[in-house]
Chain A
């Protein structure tokens, strides 16, 4: 299921403003790749460009190539809706659908796409996804209660269950733990370690310990100044980034001697 992502010469724009410039990297399947860097350097923008969520914003566009297992995501005959079915996303703030129950939230990916699924298949899928997100034991007795009644950490895991229920190839996570307490963060991190057996995971985080704990590979984004585009400074195995980085800027950022 998991697939390899190759990005070459990617420039990302908001209207005339170039937000990210010249990104080249390859993301290995069945691994966790972390993206770190200061605020406003384009990590999230880059992440959103990987499943064409970027273009939801009016005026936003992309130049360059993103290739998943030989398929160019920005090819002229590619439907962005199909891309997003293959590449799931978890957002910074938990956003379960407030009108739906816990069950319906997990089933939303299929239901909203009007895929005909039998009741028992759907029950299986919901159970498997919730188990996959380590949430099943906490909610199995109240699947028909509203999803917005859960705690923040549970809501975030519900969103992960919703994302993996459509069985994507790749899972993008945009600061998934920044709104969570340490215990919920730990739960989500454990979950990521399990999920990488099946998915390719890319995570944006401001928490460098988190990047060091969970990821195999780390990319450091930085920008030269306000109004300048962000760029990928260094892309290396996590161990190397945190012990002996190639670039001075990376070392400064990681050791807190930044700017």
Chain B
């Protein structure tokens, strides 16, 4: 995509001394592929100017022509083996570029549009009594944090204990069926999880009920299988020799698990839990059904509707009121905050795995 700029920085280099390679072929200087892509960019620019200018077509032309040119040039000067290597390198880099397009464009767009309302008021005010400009998502942010915390409190003990059962104790048919149902749970659509939680609480409290805890239950249905799966994999990685070493010291099995297996795997367990939280924090559909939306602050997940960031963004966008622009700006900022939360959690997961990893320094 940015071949033209990279080419401009590479082109001024003087030609590197070419070294002899196997088979009598000359080794290509490092700037040659860049030069080829530069030439391809110029060609594509020419095409574009002759026909009609289009940035997407320009990039596609450049990549295709550059790849072909590199391959042909390499085949002529370096031989078929090197040429295939260069061709595959070009293809892999192109695939990486294609994969990055949605991510980069999404982050760029959300940051660009969300920056407008990324201010102190957004994090300190609710939407109570707000018509038009101003207001914030303090209530939605708190709602998301409270519900996610409750979800974690429900899911992590159940998920961890299930994983411990599967790895350390489970045998035969029960283990197989639990594994099977965990797989089934992984595939449950989030809206179904929401309907399940709604139906469950309607049975107890009657129709029309909306509670923060309902959202936590719905999200737990989605989070538990993720926690079980990741914890299971991590516990399996703990070498059996460590368990045997502990048994040989006369340590009972439950203490071995508690004091040897879990501490050894703690980094992986914490990383798995953090990533599972990141997975559910942005869920919208189940919260839409179970928690609803409100404009006021509500810290109590056992009493009435709560706002959450994803649902907040959804309602600000679909029911903006008049004039619509203020609400749409708030929706973008809510999306930005959500993305930052998820990315923050991913960073935290990396830090955890580095901090808790068993130390092997001499």
Using a CB–CB distance below 8 Å, which chain A residues touch chain B? Answer: 51, 53, 56, 58, 81-86, 88-89, 91, 93, 95-99, 108-109, 111-114, 145-146, 148-150, 159, 162-163, 166
Interchain CB contact under 8 A, B251 and A56? no
- CB of B176 within 8 Å of the partner chain: no
| CA distance in complex: A228, B252 (Å) | 34
Q: Given A99-B358, A112-B256, A146-B360, A93–B171 Cβ distance below 8 Å? A: no
Q: Which of A53, A85, A97, A159 has the largest number of chain B CB atoms within 10 A?
A: A97
A162 and B249 in contact, given A97-B242, A99-B264, A113-B255 (Cβ under 8 angstroms): yes
Are A81 and B245 closer than 8 Å at their CB atoms? no
Nearest B residue to A93, CB-CB:
B241
Enumerate chain B interface residues (CB-CB to A < 8 A): 171, 239, 241-252, 255-256, 259-260, 263-264, 266, 358-362
User: Are B241 and A98 interface neighbours, CB within 8 A?
Assistant: no
Question: Given A98-B264, A112-B256, A149 and B248 touching (CB < 8 A)?
Answer: no
Check B244 against A95 for contact (C-beta < 8 Å). yes
Q: Which chain B residues lie closer than 8 Å to A150 at the CB level?
A: 362
Q: A95-B245, A146-B359, A148-B360 are in contact. Are A109 and B264 (CB under 8 A)?
A: no
Q: Do B248 and A163 have beta carbons less than 8 Å apart? A: yes
Looking at B248, B250, B251, which has the most chain A CB atoms within 10 Å of its CB?
Answer: B248
| A97-B260, A148-B358 known; A159 vs B245 contact (CB < 8 Å) | yes
Partner of A81, one of B241, B252, B259, B266: B252
Complexed CA–CA distance, A97 and B358 (Å): 9
Q: How far is the CA of A194 from the CA of B249 in the complex (A)?
A: 21
- A84-B250 in contact given A98-B264, A98-B358, A99-B263 (Cβ < 8 Å): yes
Given A145-B362, A149-B362, the answer on whether A53 and B255 have CB atoms closer than 8 Å is no
Cβ A84 vs Cβ B358 within 8 A: no
Contact present for A97 and B264 (CB under 8 Å):
yes
Q: Which of A99, A113, A162, A163 has the most CB of B within 10 A?
A: A99
What 5 pairs across the A-B complex have the smallest Cβ distances? A85-B250, A89-B248, A98-B358, A95-B241, A149-B362
- Contact (A91, B245) CB under 8 Å given A112-B255, A112-B259, A113-B250: yes
Could you say which residues of chain A place their CB within 8 Å of the CB of B263? 99
* Chain A min CB distance to B268 (Å): 13
Partner of B244 from A56, A96, A99 at Cβ < 8 Å: A56
Instruction: Given A58-B171, A81-B252, A99-B264, answer yes or no on A53-B358 (Cβ-Cβ < 8 Å).
Output: no
B245→A97 contact, CB < 8 A: yes
Q: How far is the CA of A85 from the CA of B358 in the complex (A)?
A: 27
Q: How far is the CB of A103 from chain B (nearest CB, A)?
A: 14
Q: Which residue of B lies closest to A80 (CB)?
A: B247
Across-interface contacts of B243 in A (CB, < 8 A):
56
Please tell me if the beta carbons of A91 and B244 are within 8 angstroms of each other in the complex: yes
Residues of B contacting A99 in the complex (Cβ-Cβ under 8 angstroms): 260, 263-264, 266, 358
Contact assessment for A95 and B247 in the assembled complex, using a CB-CB cutoff below 8 Å? no
Q: Which residues of A contact B242 (CB under 8 A)?
A: 95, 97-98
Q: Is the CB of B362 within 8 A of A51?
A: no
A84-B248, A111-B259, A112-B256 are known contacts; what are 16 more A-B pairs with Cβ within 8 Å? A86-B250, A88-B248, A91-B241, A91-B245, A95-B239, A97-B245, A97-B246, A97-B260, A97-B264, A98-B358, A109-B249, A113-B249, A146-B361, A149-B359, A150-B362, A166-B250
* Min CB–CB distance A3 → chain B (angstroms): 15
Contact partner, A108, options B249, B264, B360, Cβ 8 Å: B249
Determine the residue in chain B with the shortest Cβ distance to A110. Answer: B249
List the B side residues contacting A58 at CB < 8 Å.
Answer: 171
- Give 17 A-B contacts (CB < 8 Å), ordered by A residue: A53-B244, A56-B243, A56-B244, A81-B250, A82-B250, A84-B250, A95-B242, A96-B245, A98-B242, A98-B264, A98-B358, A99-B260, A112-B246, A112-B256, A146-B358, A159-B245, A162-B245
